[in-house]
């Protein structure tokens, strides 16, 4: 039940309003401006019905003063004005002071309830939007970005430097390195953070659709265009447009994109009306744009337009010191989301995960952690829970297990790796008890000590 304040000097009218609204709402009352200001300060209602001509003076200025005070001290409270005066100037003053709506006395209770219902709905939407915006800003704040390797510290510093500017940014890195996360961090730490962030994966759209997706189309522009379509540039107006895999768009679309960046205007497909746009453009690619320019596959003038501030995101295999941080971040996150007590990684499993090449980068790591949480019933995630490829038992890393390839192998390295994996598995199964691991491997304690020193277990 929303709390509603009724600030009205006519006691009978106030009681009538309270009686009519009390079934759906919690009602608090005041009879003059001074009581009304105190009531708003103490009760913080969702909505206030305010008479303009309040005591002590009974003039319109009393209600206007109350509205101005309420807007300054309680901006979340919706103000609806009640007035028996037909002077439109007084109503205009009330709206200028911060009132959301007004109705004249005498009034229809059904109409009043509808006005209140709509006002509360709008307030709830505004509150939800503010909450969502605050959540997004917290989620993509610099404090929530994971990594303490020198390479990632340079990336974070680049984000801080460019976020408050209007410069075009190109984010370069392999698939799965978190390029969209970086783009969102730039947006939500910029002055445009209250406006839309619109993301487009250019590689996922067929060439026949990407133009209409970016620029929109008019009704009848082509067969099947039964209605107009708003493009992503319009949707991102005054916000940020993120074009992922920018290198995949055709030369024709590149030409139109270049024109928009130069003139800040465009037409929808099939249209003639000039549409102005104000977007901050962030692009991303995992391709070598310089090679594409030299082959004539990417416009050189567009390249220089988007390449104002490059951010290079290193692959995960080049910043292995960040892997434990990421593993425990996703471990806590997914355990909490699934209502599971937080699990741990056995040291042997952690070492395998750090040594793994992570061709899919952070995305692959995130997906693997989620799988491990759901597939393991134990508190400790051990080596036995990891996929064979991560443990090192795939044919690429241990060719002895699948035959010798035509290209041959380095026998000493293969035997050494196999020895290491056997030792790691035994220690994992015995939860690190070396005596039991030695028994499992059929070796004495002296050889066990030697192997542990050799392989740094």
The average pLDDT across 336-360 equals 90
CATH of domain 3-134: 3.40.50.2300
DSSP lists the bridge partners of residue 7 as: 30, 50
**Model pTM above 0.85:** no
Supply the pLDDT for residue 146.
Answer: 85
Q: For the chain, give every domain's residue range.
A: 3-134, 140-314, 318-454
Contact indicator for 30, 20 with CB cutoff of 8 Å = no
Closest to 353 in 3D by CA, of 330, 313, 324, 315: 324
Sorting pLDDT into bands at 50, 70 and 90, what band is 402?
A: very low
pLDDT the model gives residue 136: 64
Instruction: Provide mean pLDDT across the span 238-254.
Output: 94
CATH of 140-314, one of 3.30.1380.20, 3.40.50.300, 3.30.70.1060, 2.40.70.10: 3.40.50.300
Distance separating the N- and C-terminal Cα atoms of the chain:
62
Query: What per-residue confidence (pLDDT) applies to 398?
Result: 47
**CATH 1.10.8.60 given to domain 318-454:** yes
Same topology, domains 3-134 and 318-454? Answer is: no
Other C-beta atoms within 10 Å of 368: how many? Answer: 19
Q: In this predicted structure, which of 275-284, 304-313, 316-325, 436-445 has the lowest mean pLDDT?
A: 436-445
Q: In which band, very low, low, confident or very high, does the pLDDT at 399 lie, cut at 50, 70 and 90? A: very low
% of the chain with per-residue pLDDT over 90: 50
- The most confident of the ranges 175-189, 216-230, 388-402 is 175-189
pLDDT average, residue stretch 170-196: 93
Within 8 A by CB and 6+ apart from 55, the residues are 9, 31, 32, 33, 62
Q: Which residue has the higher pLDDT, 234 or 228?
A: 234
pLDDT of residue 320: 93
pLDDT band at 108 (very low <50, low <70, confident <90, very high): confident
Residues 6 or more apart whose Cβ sits within 8 Å of residue 243:
200, 202, 249, 281, 282, 283, 284
Question: Per-residue pLDDT tens for 124-137?
Answer: 887 776 677 667 66
């Amino acid at each position: 039940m929303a709390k509603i304040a009724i600030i009205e000097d006519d006691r009978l009218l106030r009681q009538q309003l309270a009686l009519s609204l009390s079934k759906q709402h919690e009602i608090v009352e005041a009879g003059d401006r001074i009581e009304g200001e105190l009531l708003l300060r103490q009760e913080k209602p969702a909505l206030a019905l305010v008479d303009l001509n309040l005591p002590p003076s009974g003039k319109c200025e009393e209600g206007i003063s109350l509205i101005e005070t309420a807007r300054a001290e309680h901006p979340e409270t919706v103000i609806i004005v009640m007035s028996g005066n037909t002077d439109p100037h007084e109503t205009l003053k009330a709206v200028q002071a911060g009132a959301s709506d007004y109705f004249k006395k005498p009034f229809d209770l059904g109409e009043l309830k509808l006005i209140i219902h709509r006002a509360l709905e709008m307030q709830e939407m505004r509150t939800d939007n503010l909450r969502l915006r605050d959540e997004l800003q917290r989620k993509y704040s610099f404090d929530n970005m994971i990594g303490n390797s020198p390479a990632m510290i340079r990336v974070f510093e680049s984000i801080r430097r460019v976020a408050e500017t209007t410069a075009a940014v190109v984010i370069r890195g392999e698939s799965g390195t978190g390029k969209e996360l970086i783009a969102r961090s730039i947006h939500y730490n910029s002055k445009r953070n209250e406006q839309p962030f619109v993301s487009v994966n250019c590689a996922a759209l067929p060439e026949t659709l990407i133009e209409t997706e970016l620029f929109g189309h008019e009704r009848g522009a082509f067969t099947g265009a039964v209605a107009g379509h708003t493009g992503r540039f319009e949707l991102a107006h005054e916000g940020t447009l993120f074009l992922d895999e920018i290198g995949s768009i055709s030369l024709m679309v590149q030409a139109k994109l270049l024109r928009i960046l130069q003139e800040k205007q465009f037409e929808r497909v099939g249209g003639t009306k000039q549409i102005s746009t104000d977007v901050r453009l962030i692009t991303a690619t995992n391709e070598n744009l310089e090679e594409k320019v030299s082959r004539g596959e990417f416009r050189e003038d567009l390249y220089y337009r988007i390449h104002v501030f490059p951010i290079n995101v290193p692959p995960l295999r080049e910043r292995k010191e960040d892997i434990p941080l990421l593993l425990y971040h996703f471990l806590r996150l997914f355990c909490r989301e699934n209502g599971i007590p937080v699990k741990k990684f056995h040291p042997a499993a952690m070492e395998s995960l750090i040594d793994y090449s992570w061709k899919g980068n952070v995305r692959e790591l995130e997906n693997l952690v989620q799988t491990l949480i759901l597939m393991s019933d134990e508190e400790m995630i051990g080596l036995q829970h990891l996929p064979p490829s991560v443990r090192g038992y795939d044919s690429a890393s241990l060719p002895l297990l699948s035959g010798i390839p035509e290209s041959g192998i380095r026998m000493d390295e293969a035997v050494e790796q196999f020895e290491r994996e056997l030792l790691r598995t035994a220690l994992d199964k015995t939860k690190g008890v070396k005596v039991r691991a030695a028994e499992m491997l059929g070796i004495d304690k002296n050889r066990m000590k030697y192997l542990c020193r050799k392989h740094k277990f």
